[in-house]
Amino acid sequence: MFCYQCQETARNSGCTLAGVCGKSAEVSNLMDMLVWVTKGLSQVSTRLRSEGKDVGSEVNHLVTFNLFSTITNANFDDQAIYTRILLTIDMKTRLIAQLADASNLSEAALYVESDRRTIEDKARSIGVLSEKNEDIRSLKELITYGLKGVSAYSKHANVLIKDDEALDSFIQSSLAALLEKKSVDELVALTLETGKWGVTGMALLDSANTGAYGNPEITEVKLGVGKNPGILISGHDLRDLKMLLEQTQGTGVDVYTHSEMLPAHYYPAFKKYPNFVGNYGNAWWKQKQEFASFNGPILMTTNCIVAPDASYKDRIFTTGATGFPGVKHIGGDIGETKDFSQIIEMAKKCEAPTELETGKLVGGFAHNQVFALADKVVDAVKSGAIKKFVVMAGCDGRSKSRDYYTEFAKALPKDTVILTAGCAKYKYIKLNLGDIGGIPRVLDAGQCNDSYSLALIALKLKEVFALDDINELPIAYNIAWYEQKAVIVLLALLSLGVKNIHLGPTLPAFLSPNVANVLVENFGIAGISNVEDDISLLVG
Ligand code: SF4
Ligand code: SF3
């Protein structure tokens, strides 16, 4: 195996024996294979489109679901990945039969083996390192990870019956392009285009979420626990949450959010459920202790899953693109209602959660809410009460070096406001950093995909202040990354023209020195150093 797609990759170089995340070599190789046959399928679907034929949403959903399954900490289940490889090969075969011109298809498009051992053998020759030129490899992987990120967002929109054929068509034509010989310049151009479609994907999900559940609004979220047994729901899938809330009404079971599900509390549609109690715990990487002390069942709707301890393995459930061997999986396709009754029945027999903390946090500052406060915000900037905004969106992770973000938030001058989204927020959202004339100093827009809101807010401020360039705004960017959704968020910001983004705690291992240089020279991308120097650099 060789995998270097996330920030925690071994020695910041690559996982080769097993993943730091817990992914086995076997699963890693099968995932390489799944990505490869998905590229093959995409070559066929792209050619079908060029022949003027309809590809259909089944293909689109298969592609995005496949890529989503290979995101860090989403699916550790070898059998589930193998099954998806077979499904993809089957779909490819059906589509090839519809082609008028099936000549010159790639090996990935024509591959039809179904024997698992044969597939595993083949996987060893088509992985990341099969591309020998390190710059081409770097760019192709950067694009692949961006496509994984936007596929995850697209899939969440799809379950809310929102599709964008143009986005799916781009995802597939790009995957197909990655099978071809390309120059560095061509791949740099495709990287930027991927970012542009990243904005489209995040906008699609934003309209799907707000269309279904209303616009997020300022909300106090409870951090303590009640006396009823509870179900803890994690991940990004709001439709799963909606179904769970519906099915738990009148059962005496409360529902709590974990990690990336916290922002669900900000949506008006979920406030009407009396058993939607609050948020329990912190970011994904603390789940071992927090799931143990929660005492009740846990539903993982997306990444990030950590290998469960025996103490709670029998009460954790996966759904959607997630999976873990030996962990129960709840099925249900787009348009179907999932049956969570076994989770609810289990919860009834469990003790109430053990309290971790008390109090509350405040969030809900997505674009609509911030626009409603625009006058107040603009006045505060004009009067000098707010000197600078610092975007600190992204991910949290295990590494001790991420304490930097807590210290950075604490050390920021009192006339600065943090704009955040994603699970990076757990490093500082509970610090009580105060407010500026009633505007909290930490404004949480929501999940990582709600970084889209942060971009809209920046564009709105640019308009209000009549600036020509988004980079003239008093906004600095200090982003923490972990997995591939952060990659698409980064590419999306670059495509919007944002410069001088600081990325940490380390720069991605998949950026070769030359590719990193392209990003430094054209976009001013930089790493982080220490709190004191970075404060003076970013807000000094
Ligand atoms: Fe390693 Fe990250 Fe890949 Fe897991 S996802 S195998 S930790 S690089
Ligand atoms: Fe990612 Fe696990 Fe935090 Fe959506 S999902 S942000 S790391």
In 381-500 the beta strands, taken as DSSP E runs, fall at: 388-391, 416-420, 435-436, 439-440, 442-444, 475-480
**Separation CA 49–CA 1 (nearest Å):** 34
317, 348, 379: which is the final residue of a domain?
A: 348
- The answer for residues whose C-beta is within 8 angstroms of residue 220's C-beta and 6 or more apart is 360, 361, 362
**Separation CA 119–CA 127 (nearest Å):** 12
Mean of per-residue pLDDT scores for the chain:
98
- Note whether 273 and 404 are same-domain residues: no
Tokens read off for 153: 């967002």
Residue 238 has pLDDT above 90, yes or no: yes
In a domain? residue 353? no
**Cβ of residue 392 lying under 6 Å from some atom of ligand 1:** no
pLDDT band per the 50, 70, 90 thresholds, residue 79: very high
**Cβ of residue 486 lying under 6 Å from some atom of ligand 1:** no
Name the nearest CA neighbour of 86 among 116, 126, 114.
Answer: 114
- Note whether 27 and 127 are same-domain residues: yes
Our count of domains for the chain comes to: 3
324, 348, 372: which is the final residue of a domain?
A: 348
In a domain? residue 3? no
In a domain? residue 433? yes
Choose one of 2, 6, 69, 481 to mutate for the ligand 1 pocket test, by most ligand atoms within 8 angstroms of C-beta.
6
- Note whether 423 and 531 are same-domain residues: yes
Residue 540 has pLDDT above 90, yes or no: no
For the residues 326-341, what does the mean pLDDT come to?
97
For the residues 444-471, what does the mean pLDDT come to?
97
**Separation CA 90–CA 93 (nearest Å):** 5
**Separation CA 529–CA 454 (nearest Å):** 24
- Note whether 229 and 318 are same-domain residues: yes
- Note whether 203 and 233 are same-domain residues: no
**Cβ of residue 15 lying under 6 Å from some atom of ligand 1:** yes
**Separation CA 391–CA 164 (nearest Å):** 28
Which whole-number Å values give the CA distances from 345 to 230, 248, 251, 273, 331, in the listed order? 11, 10, 9, 19, 17
- Note whether 118 and 197 are same-domain residues: yes
- The residue whose CA has the least distance to atom 2 of ligand 2 is 304
Q: How far is the CA of 268 from the centre of ligand 1 (A)?
A: 37
- The answer for residues whose C-beta is within 8 angstroms of residue 149's C-beta and 6 or more apart is 71, 198, 484, 485, 486, 487, 488, 489
Domain span at residue 396 reads 364-539
- Note whether 446 and 491 are same-domain residues: yes
**Separation CA 431–CA 398 (nearest Å):** 19
Ligand nearest to the CA of 8: 1
Letter for the amino acid at 226?
G
Residue 124 has pLDDT above 90, yes or no: yes
Q: How far is the CA of 69 from the centre of ligand 2 (A)?
A: 14
pLDDT band per the 50, 70, 90 thresholds, residue 83: very high
In a domain? residue 286? yes
- The residue whose CA has the least distance to atom 7 of ligand 2 is 395
Residues β-bridged to residue 526: 502
In a domain? residue 356? no
Is 304 part of any known ligand binding site?
yes
500: left (phi over 0), alpha (psi -120 to 50) or beta: left
**Cβ of residue 422 lying under 6 Å from some atom of ligand 2:** yes
- Note whether 486 and 396 are same-domain residues: yes
In a domain? residue 103? yes
**Separation CA 268–CA 253 (nearest Å):** 21
- Note whether 398 and 255 are same-domain residues: no
> What CATH code is carried by the domain that includes residue 90?
1.20.1270.20
pTM over the 0.90 mark? yes
Is 21 part of any known ligand binding site?
yes
- Note whether 374 and 464 are same-domain residues: yes
**Cβ of residue 404 lying under 6 Å from some atom of ligand 2:** no
Q: What is the pLDDT of residue 475?
A: 98
**Separation CA 256–CA 270 (nearest Å):** 12
- Note whether 154 and 60 are same-domain residues: yes
Name the nearest CA neighbour of 15 among 375, 496, 510, 456.
Answer: 510
For the residues 228-252, what does the mean pLDDT come to?
98
Is 395 part of any known ligand binding site?
yes
348, 375, 393: which is the final residue of a domain?
A: 348
**Separation CA 21–CA 483 (nearest Å):** 11
In a domain? residue 387? yes
Q: What is the pLDDT of residue 162?
A: 97
> How many angstroms separate the first and last alpha carbons of the chain?
45
Q: How far is the CA of 71 from the centre of ligand 1 (A)?
A: 9
Name the nearest CA neighbour of 292 among 321, 263, 276, 314.
Answer: 314
Residue 64 has pLDDT above 90, yes or no: yes
**Cβ of residue 32 lying under 6 Å from some atom of ligand 1:** no
In a domain? residue 182? yes
ipTM: 0.97
- Note whether 277 and 423 are same-domain residues: no
- The residue whose CA has the least distance to atom 1 of ligand 2 is 395
**Cβ of residue 163 lying under 6 Å from some atom of ligand 2:** no
For the residues 508-515, what does the mean pLDDT come to?
98
**Cβ of residue 307 lying under 6 Å from some atom of ligand 1:** no
Nearest atom (ligand 2) to Cα of 396: 3
Q: How far is the CA of 397 from the centre of ligand 2 (A)?
A: 9
Q: How far is the CA of 104 from the centre of ligand 2 (A)?
A: 39
> What CATH code is carried by the domain that includes residue 328?
3.40.50.2030
**In the chain, % of residues over pLDDT 90:** 100
For the residues 280-284, what does the mean pLDDT come to?
98
- The residue whose CA has the least distance to atom 3 of ligand 1 is 3
Q: How far is the CA of 56 from the centre of ligand 1 (A)?
A: 33
Q: Which DSSP category does 353 fall into?
A: P
Is 260 part of any known ligand binding site?
yes
Ligand nearest to the CA of 261: 2
Is 350 part of any known ligand binding site?
no
Choose one of 2, 12, 13, 23 to mutate for the ligand 1 pocket test, by most ligand atoms within 8 angstroms of C-beta.
23
Q: How far is the CA of 260 from the centre of ligand 2 (A)?
A: 7
* Range 124-129, long-range pairs (CB < 8 A, 24+ positions): 124/29, 126/32, 126/33, 126/36, 127/1, 127/2, 127/29, 127/32, 128/2, 128/3, 128/4, 128/14, 128/32, 129/2
